[in-house]
Amino acid sequence: MHPLTPLLKGGLVLIIAAGLVISNMRDRVIAWLVGIFAPEEAVGDMPDGDPVDWVFANGLAFVALLAVLAVLIVVIVVFWVIWRFHQFRITGSHVEVRKGIVFRSQRRAPLDRVQGVNLTRPFIARLIGLAKVEVVGAGTDANVELEYLATAKAESVRADILRLASGARSARLATVAGAAPAAAAAPGTMRQQIASSVNSGVTDLIAGVDLADVAPESVVKIPTGRLVGSHVINGIVWLAFFGLMFLVAMAAVVISSVADGEVLRGTVVLGIGLGIGIPMIIAAVGIAWAQISRSLRYSIAPTENGIRLTFGLLTTVTETLPPGRIFAVEVVQPLLWRPFGWWSVRINRMSGKSASAQQSSTAQQFNIVLPVGKRADVERVLGLVLPDAPASTIPLIWEHGVLGPVAGDPYRTTARRARWTHPFSWKRQGYAVSDFALMLRRGVLWRKLAVFPLARMQGIAINQGPIARAQRVGGAQVHSVTGPVSGRLSGLERDDTMRLVDEVARAAVAAASRDTSHRWAESAG
């Protein structure tokens, strides 16, 4: 790893905390150090003034410098030992990380189970040219992190992992050949390297990162105004809803207190309400800004090893999703976005994180491949995340699915006798099966279309409760990996549910036999 890894992984916080402790307790610290190195001095007679002046006045500056030097040596030795025992290697079958001195740990990520490779550049790391590589595994808490590497080395490691995972036999040779020119072009002196890293980091803050190796016309970006506007619209709706409830409750209490002649009680309640409401508004604004800043500088582009997503204003995350690692795709349009023609695209994918970690807003960001976009953006993104979709499936996805129903609707929808269970969406709710995917269409206020590629579908179940049995209708549940895309339908004709299982079973076997996306470069290697 990079020698500055221990500093960025908590050493900087430790140094800052130690500095705060010393600055607030320096009289005691100095007295303790003087008592160790010069016990004959009258430490107890230290005046109430600045203890640093007292040290210089008593000729103890050399002792203080020795103490500071000793502390620095201890810190440097500890950081060096931590860095020295933090190692990784990439073989033809896995990525392995070893670390620890007293308590050793070792983690491995099989390359044939790699679900993606992320490059994370925290703001401070970006300024000095460092990045963290995260290899996303297929199991719970299965990710392997390489933190931190020089940015050029991190990009080379990412390319190496993806080439090996793709099945290309010459991956390591190609990586070495591709990394050599970058190493040769690196500046010679330490000062030049630091200056180059800082300049590159500042440039990335303005121009973005990880777009140099893709065709500019293939990059999908989001205008900042549209991105901020979409979040503001969503935030205003919830803020107005809860704000109205809060105002009604406060008004009722104050009016009741005034009517009873207890003005003081009403004033106290109003003050307490404002003390609670104002911090809530500030917190809501902070949460909205955090969501906006994570989505700024968004771009999605195709590469030879899959699609590359980049997002983040200060902390930039670049995620590469290899082919065959997307298990479901959903196009969503909230009601308030409809006048603007905006849509978002979400996916189900293996994140390699535990169930609790997947609930965080940062983890959920990885399931959004298009935060907000117009129809042209959605079509381009769908073409990237579903590259194997045949031309015959496109109308089922867009005209009949996203925008439908239209004339000649091929979707099997809600049974007439079960429309009372979906009074507004009965005409849209339904499914269609092609040789490539199962498509589920739902919602009127919030339009949704979910696409489940058959080659990666985990299973399907049908269910029928007592009321549904009396109506001769049933429901279905598509099983996929954990994610925001749901595969639940209800109110279908009983015969349609049985037909759905048979069609999916036959088509999924054929699709899985044709699918080679998990080793996308094997034939070329």
Residues 6+ apart with CB under 8 A from 325: 115, 116, 306, 349, 350, 518
**Closest Cα to residue 152, out of 370, 2, 41?**
2
What pLDDT is recorded for position 500? 92
Residues 6+ apart with CB under 8 A from 461: 476, 477, 479
Q: For the chain, what are the domain ranges?
A: 4-85, 220-295, 324-514
Extended strands (E) in 353-487:
368-373, 412-413, 430-433, 437-442, 447-453, 459-463, 473-479
Exposed / middle / buried, residue 307 (Cβ in 10 Å: 0-12, 13-18, 19+):
buried
How far apart (Å, rounded) are the C-alpha atoms in residues 266 and 268?
5
- C-alpha separations of 425 from 392, 414, 421, 430, 489 in Å: 26, 9, 9, 10, 12
- What CATH number should be reported for the domain whose range is 324-514? 2.30.29.30
- C-alpha separations of 270 from 243, 245, 382 in Å: 14, 15, 51
Radius of gyration, alpha carbons of the chain? 30
Residues 6+ apart with CB under 8 A from 108: 94, 95, 96, 97, 144
* Beta pairing, strands 105-110 & 94-99: antiparallel
Exposed / middle / buried, residue 54 (Cβ in 10 Å: 0-12, 13-18, 19+):
buried
Q: What are phi and psi of 223, to 5 degrees?
A: -60, 140
Tokens of 36: 């160790």
How far apart (Å, rounded) are the C-alpha atoms in residues 28 and 24?
9
What pLDDT is recorded for position 108? 85
How far apart (Å, rounded) are the C-alpha atoms in residues 111 and 160?
11
Tokens of 408: 């000649």
Tokens of 115: 């679900």
What pLDDT is recorded for position 433? 92
Query: Is 145 within 8 Å of 126 (Cβ atoms)?
Result: no
What pLDDT is recorded for position 222? 84
Collapse the DSSP code of 115 into the 3-class scheme (helix H, G, I; strand E, B; otherwise coil) and give the result: coil
**pLDDT, tens digit only, all 525 positions of the chain:** 887 777 777 666 666 666 666 665 556 666 666 666 555 554 555 555 556 666 666 666 677 777 778 777 887 787 788 788 888 998 888 888 888 777 888 888 888 888 888 888 888 888 788 889 998 887 777 788 888 888 888 888 998 888 888 765 444 444 444 443 443 344 455 455 556 655 665 566 555 556 666 665 667 888 888 888 888 887 777 667 677 777 777 777 667 766 766 666 667 766 777 677 777 777 777 777 777 777 777 888 888 878 888 888 778 888 888 878 889 999 999 888 999 999 999 999 887 776 666 666 666 778 888 999 999 999 999 988 888 888 888 888 888 888 888 888 899 999 988 888 888 888 899 999 998 999 999 988 889 999 999 998 889 999 988 988 888 999 999 998 888 898 998 989 999 999 999 999 999 999 888 887 766 665 444
CB count in 10 Å sphere of residue 68: 12
What pLDDT is recorded for position 173? 43
What pLDDT is recorded for position 169? 46
Exposed / middle / buried, residue 243 (Cβ in 10 Å: 0-12, 13-18, 19+):
middle
How far apart (Å, rounded) are the C-alpha atoms in residues 421 and 430?
14
Burial 169-207 (b: 16+ CB within 10 A, else e): eebeeebeeebeeeeeeeeeeeeeeeeebeebbeebbee
Residue 297 CA, distance from chain mean position: 14
Collapse the DSSP code of 367 into the 3-class scheme (helix H, G, I; strand E, B; otherwise coil) and give the result: coil
What pLDDT is recorded for position 193? 53
Query: Length of the chain, please?
Result: 525
What pLDDT is recorded for position 347? 92
How far apart (Å, rounded) are the C-alpha atoms in residues 175 and 166?
13
What pLDDT is recorded for position 51? 61
Query: Is 219 within 8 Å of 207 (Cβ atoms)?
Result: no
Q: What are phi and psi of 228, to 5 degrees?
A: -65, -40
What pLDDT is recorded for position 450? 94
How far apart (Å, rounded) are the C-alpha atoms in residues 172 and 325?
22
